[in-house]
Structure 1
C-alpha cells in the first residue's frame, strides 16, 4: 500500500488538520523541518514517505477564500517527477480549468525556461463537497487529466454540493474514501467506510483511503482492506511513520 503525504494550505500557510474542522486548523509545527513554507515542508513529506505523489488540499479555494495559485506554481516548478493531486474545491470542469490555466500562466512567467517535462504533473481531485456537475470528471478524463473523485464523508454521510447519482457508474478509475471526521484525529483509520465504498465500486476502480493513520499498525490494518494507497499527514509530521514503514506495509 502506498502512503501519500498530504499538504493542507490555508491563508498562505501549511496547516495541521483537526478532525476536518477547518476553523481549528493552525500553521503546522512539524518534526520533519523547522521551516514553515510550503516547499520545504512538501520536500520533507516526500522524503520521509518515499512517495512520488503529493496530495494538496487548497483549503483557501475550497472555502472560497482564494486559491493559492502562486504557491501551487512554485511547487509544480520545484518538484519535477512528482504527481500533485490537487483538490481546490472545483464546482465543475470550467473552474478546474481556470485554476490550472492560472497556475500555468504563473509558471511560464516565473520560470519561462522550464520545460513541461520538468514540471510536476497536476492531477485534479474533484470533491463531492464542492462538485456541482458530475460530468466534469468525464470532461477532465477526455482532456487527458486522469481525474480523481473524493467521496467526502462526515458523520457517516456523503457531503454533496448537489444531488449525485448514488450508483458508482459515473466514478472515474480512482476514488478517495475521504472521512473528514478522521482527518487529523489520531483516532485510527475509518476502515468500515473504506470497505463500504470499495464494495460498491466497479472492479477496475482503485480506492484510496484518507485520515486517521497513527502508526505502523494502522498502516497494516489499512493495507489489509485492499487499499491501494492512504493519505497521511499528522503521523508523518510527528515521525510516527517513515519511509521504512511505508515500504513494508
Structure 2
C-alpha cells in the first residue's frame, strides 16, 4: 500500500481538513513541527510516509480563488525528487493546459487532479479526461452519501483514466475509518483501474483493510500529523 501524504493549502498555510467543511479549516497543529508553513511541513510528511509523492489540495483555487502557483513551484524546487498531485479546482481543459505552460519543464513532475466536484457538465468532463488521460487522475467525490458530480463522472466509467481517487469527504479528518463500501462499489465498475482511497485512515490496521478491499494507495494527513501512522516503522 502506497501512502500519499496530503497538504491542504489555504492562504499560504497548511490547514487541517475535517469532513470537507472548508470554511472551518484552521492552521494545522502537527507533531512534525510547530510551523504550518508548507515548505516546513511537506518534507517531514513525506519522510514519515516514506513517499516520493505529495498531494496538494489548493483550497483557495477549489473555492473560486487563484491557484497558489508560487507555493507549488517552491515545493517542486525544495523537493527535487518529489512528484506533486495537484488538486487545483480544474474545471476545463484550458486551465490544465495553462498550468502546464506556466510550469514549463516542471510540468513533468505535476499530475493534475480532475475532481468531479469541480466539473460543471458532461462536456467539460469528457474533454478534460480525454485530453489529459495519460497523466491526470480523476477524483470521484461524495459527501453525506451524495455524489458531488454535476458532470456525471460516476455513471461513466468508460471516461475514467487509469488512476481514480475515491474521495469521501465525510471521512477526511474524522477518525471514523475509511469508506471501504464506496471503494468496493467503484472497483466493481472498473476492475482494471488503480484505486486511491482518501479519508478516514487511523492506523496501520485501517491501511491493511483498505488494501484488502482493493486500494493500491491512500491519501493520508491527520494520522501522519498526529503520529498514529509512521511508515518508517510500521512497514506500510
Range into which the TM-score falls when normalised by the shorter chain: over 0.9
2:183 is equivalent to residue 194 of structure 1: yes
Structure 2: runs of 5+ lacking an equivalent: none
Post-superposition shift, 1:245? Answer: 5.5
Q: Measure the CA separation in 1 of the matches of 2:115 and 2:152.
A: 13
| Matched-pair contact (CA < 8 Å) for 2:116–2:139 | yes
Higher helix fraction: Structure 1 or Structure 2? Answer: 2
Q: Structure 1 residues 120, 42: CA separation in 2 closer, same or farther (over 3 Å shift)?
A: farther
| Matched-pair contact (CA < 8 Å) for 1:216–1:245 | no
Residue matched to 1:183? 172
Residue matched to 1:225? 213
| Matched-pair contact (CA < 8 Å) for 1:58–1:88 | yes
Q: Measure the CA separation in 2 of the matches of 1:232 and 1:26.
A: 17
Post-superposition shift, 1:247? Answer: 3.0
Residue matched to 2:54? 54
| Matched-pair contact (CA < 8 Å) for 2:15–2:36 | no
Structure 1: runs of 5+ lacking an equivalent: 105-115
| Worse-matched range after superposition: 208-217 or 159-168 | 159-168
- 1:25-44 counterparts in 2 under 5 A? 25-44=25-44
| Matched-pair contact (CA < 8 Å) for 2:141–2:168 | yes
Query: CA RMSD of the aligned region, Å?
Result: 1.7
| Matched-pair contact (CA < 8 Å) for 2:140–2:153 | no
Q: Measure the CA separation in 2 of the matches of 1:163 and 1:194.
A: 18
Q: Measure the CA separation in 2 of the matches of 1:51 and 1:183.
A: 20
Residue matched to 2:146? 157
Residue matched to 2:117? 129
Post-superposition shift, 1:222? Answer: 1.1
Post-superposition shift, 1:103? Answer: 4.1
Residue matched to 2:77? 77
Post-superposition shift, 1:164? Answer: 4.0
Post-superposition shift, 1:99? Answer: 2.8
Q: Structure 1 residues 80, 65: CA separation in 2 closer, same or farther (over 3 Å shift)?
A: same
Q: Structure 1 residues 240, 166: CA separation in 2 closer, same or farther (over 3 Å shift)?
A: same
How many aligned residue pairs are there? 232
- TM normalised by structure 1 equals 0.88
Q: Measure the CA separation in 1 of the matches of 2:109 and 2:154.
A: 30
Post-superposition shift, 1:12? Answer: 1.4
Post-superposition shift, 1:215? Answer: 1.2
| Matched-pair contact (CA < 8 Å) for 1:77–1:120 | no
User: Aligned with 1:169: secondary structure?
Assistant: helix
Q: Measure the CA separation in 2 of the matches of 1:155 and 1:62.
A: 19
- Deviations 1:10-48, CA, capped at 9 Å, x for gaps: 111110001110011000111011222111111010000
Q: Measure the CA separation in 2 of the matches of 1:12 and 1:165.
A: 32
Moved beyond 4 Å, runs of 4+: none
